[in-house]
Structures are given as structure tokens and as C-alpha cells.
Amino acid sequence: MIRDHTFLKVCKNEIKNQAGEAVTLRGIGLGGWMNMENFITGFPANEKAFRQVVYRALGKEKADFLFDRYLEYFFTTEDVKFIRSLGLNLVRLPFNYQHFEDDMNPMVIRESGWRSLDRVINICAENEIYTILDLHAAAGYQNQDWHSDNPSQRAFFWEHKHFQDRTVWLWEKIAERYKDGFINGGSYPGFTRGEYFNAEVLCNKLMQTCQYMLENGTPIWIGEFGPVYTGIRENDAMRYKVLEDQLSFYKNLRANWSLWTYKDLGLQGLVSLPPDSKWARKIQPILDKKAVLGVDAWGGLDKNVRHIMEPIEQTFAEFYPNYQPFPFGAQWQIHRTVRHILLAEPLIEDFYPLLQGLDFDEIDELMASFLYANCSPRAELIQIIKKDLQVN
């Protein structure tokens, strides 16, 4: 049973607890946990395709064991205590609808989904950490990208009432359960993607983004932000400076925020699996091929496949100059289709020989790579957060 704990509510432009005290949320997103993402965990393409190859390679019993251990080890009490030690008071919990219902048996709850969500909500509450639930992947795909577990570039959620009804149904089930308690380079200041950025520009963009909230007197909520790190000291120093400036603006606006993301393979996480971890070493051939082909939308580069992309881009520019598909235009559509689907999906098959024949102990050791004790904190990022929150 979920422990009783203080719920928050919106009062005009503030968030308050049940004692009527104003609360400012400053936290981090648990990306890659109940909604797996390719750049965080190491697989190409989307989560469902990765799960399918794992089940083919290991069989149901061992595959269930692998994913159960992953969910358990990825986020434990040690992770929560570490987050709390930084002065943060929130964890944003992205999840995939498929933890709670099956496409072939819709609107029937999978009880196993509650087990994982309950566990993390509880350990966060026990350590005075609020949680915000985030349906990151809805039935039918609410956006066109991999992070909604979308294998295509079509967001069918908006085209079928069936998917919309299932999403409303799932949120009703969630509310019922918990209602009673419970990397493209650039410089800074300087030009990035052809646009000049400095502190003033960042602040102006923030004010534009927050215009609706400011005009309507609602709390400002910034659910996801954070740099992608390159491993190159000079480049990362600029990214840390951008982050420091952002946090200063948020503080002036008394904004509530959640940094992205908590744990990954080293691209963006507050803590990361080291390169010599058992999981990283196991999948290194796939990581290498992913980097060459640039198949990850987040953090992937197309420099090694320009000979493929340029002729397609030129063809579209010549024959379809006015082609601007929703939501991000022609270039995004081309790269989504070619790099992130066509080149990414076949690469999933490389997991099959890597996983085939593993026994339960070997699977447990691989998943234990995600334990907090086996991860490395990103020292510079931690220092910035502590400084902003004035934690010693």
C-alpha cells in the first residue's frame, strides 16, 4: 500500500502543499526507466523492437528476468538518497503505457506495472522527494519520435479516438490508485545551428516560452532541459555555462523544473554507467555501429552518412521545395525516416547473438551495471546543481 504523503495543488501562480506552504519543485527526470530510450540504454530504434529481439534471444523466462532486474537496479533507495543529497526535491517519472495494458488486450490493467511504479513512488516519498507521473509513451504514439516508442514517423494518437479513449482510461486508473495519498557542437556565447545565443537570448526565449503561464498567473513548470555532453572539455564547459545561466533565470522566475536525465550511458546523465561496466562492454560493438551510422536522434551525428543523406536532401530541395511536414519540416522527416528508422531497425538484430545463451547469473550481472553503486556521478553537473540550490 502506498504510504500517505503530502499532495501538492495549484493555487493561482504557486504550487502549495497541504499545509498551504509554497513549494518550488527542482528535480530530475528518470529517463530510460519505465520508458526505455535508445541513447540512454544502448539499443537502436524504439523500445518495443528492442524488447522483441530480447525475447527471441533469451526466451520468455529469461527475458522477463532481464527486464525485471533492469527496472529494479536502475533506480533504488541509493539513487534517491543521492538525489536528495543534492538538495533536489522531485523525480519526474516517465512511463510507457505498455507497462499497464496490452495492445491485444486493451483497457485491462497489467498489475506488474503498478509494482514498479509503487516501489519508486514509495522510496521517493520516504526520502521527502515528490514525484510527477509522466505518460511519455501513449497508445498510438502521441508524437512522431522514438521517445514515445514510435517505430514510424506518424502520431496515430491524434487520428484515432480509440487511442485517445485508452489514454483517458489509463489516467483514470492512475488517478484512482494514487488519489488518496501517496550534440551538434556550436559555442556559447556564439552561433549554434545558425542562431546566435548568449544569456540575453536564452532569457528572452525562456520568457517567450513562459508567456502563457505568466499571463495567466499559473506556476511555471519546465519539465525537461539539459545539455548533451561531448567528452571534450572545451565544448562541455560551454554547455555547463548554458546550464548555469538557465538555472539563474529559473530562480529569478521562481520556476519549477526537472533536469533531463538522471542515468544513462554517458551522454547526458547526472550519473552514468562507466565504459568498463559489464553492460557497456557487452554492447560496445552495437554502440560503435550506432555512432558510425548516427542512428540515435539524440546525440547522434550524421557525419559518416552524409553521402547517403545529401542526395536525398538535395532531391527534396529540388523537387519538393515547399514540403514542410508537421511538426519539424523536411529535413527532420528525412533523417527520421532514413537514419532513425531505416538504418536503426536492422541494427537491433545485433543484440540477438550477444544475448543468446546467457544464463540467469550472467543476466543479473549485466543488469547490475545499472545499480547506483556501479555508476559514476558527473562531478561538474553535481557542483552546478548544488551551487544553485546552495547545498554543501
Bridge partners, 91 (sequence order): 28, 131
pLDDT tops 50 at residue 258: yes
* Residue range 243-261: mean pLDDT, rounded: 96
pLDDT digits (tens, 9 = 90+) for 39-55: 999 999 999 999 999 99
Query: CA-to-CA distance for 280 and 284, rounded, in angstroms?
Result: 6
Place of cell 522531485: 90
pLDDT tops 90 at residue 20: no
- Distance spanning both ends of the chain, measured CA to CA: 35
Query: CA-to-CA distance for 375 and 262, rounded, in angstroms?
Result: 11
Burial of 46 (0-12, 13-18, 19+ CB in 10 A): buried
Q: Where are the alpha helices (DSSP H) in the chain?
A: 38-41, 47-58, 60-74, 77-85, 111-126, 161-178, 199-209, 211-216, 233-252, 278-282, 284-293, 306-319, 329-337, 351-355, 360-367, 379-389
* Residue among 41, 7, 15 at smallest CA distance from 133: 7
pLDDT-based confidence at 253, cuts 50/70/90? Answer: very high
The answer to whether 353 touches 292, Cβ cutoff 8 Å, is no
Q: CB-based contacts of 159: which residues, under 8 Å, 6+ apart?
A: 140
pLDDT tops 60 at residue 8: yes
Query: CA-to-CA distance for 160 and 141, rounded, in angstroms?
Result: 11
Query: CA-to-CA distance for 108 and 101, rounded, in angstroms?
Result: 6
Residue 136 C-alpha cell reads as 511519455
Hey, what's the torsion of the CAs at 245, 246, 247, 249, to 10 degrees? Answer: 90
The share of the chain scoring above pLDDT 70, in percent, equals: 96
pLDDT-based confidence at 182, cuts 50/70/90? Answer: low
Residue 148 C-alpha cell reads as 514515445
Query: CA-to-CA distance for 276 and 50, rounded, in angstroms?
Result: 22
pLDDT digits (tens, 9 = 90+) for 109-150: 999 999 999 999 999 999 999 999 999 999 999 999 999 999
Claim: this prediction has a pTM higher than 0.85: no
Place of cell 519546465: 222
CB < 8 Å & 24+ apart, contacts of 203-206:
203/245, 203/249, 206/246, 206/249, 206/250, 206/253
* Residue among 126, 119, 124 at smallest CA distance from 91: 124
Q: Which domains does the chain have, with CATH numbers?
A: 9-281+369-389 (3.20.20.80)
What are the b/e assignments for 75-97, b being 16+ CB within 10 Å? Answer: bbeebbebbbebebbbbbbbbbb
Place of cell 493561482: 12
The answer to whether 257 touches 62, Cβ cutoff 8 Å, is no
Query: CA-to-CA distance for 168 and 135, rounded, in angstroms?
Result: 11
pLDDT, position 19: 82
* Residue range 317-321: mean pLDDT, rounded: 96
pLDDT-based confidence at 194, cuts 50/70/90? Answer: low
What are the b/e assignments for 370-384, b being 16+ CB within 10 Å? Answer: bbbeebeebeebbeb
* Residue range 161-187: mean pLDDT, rounded: 85
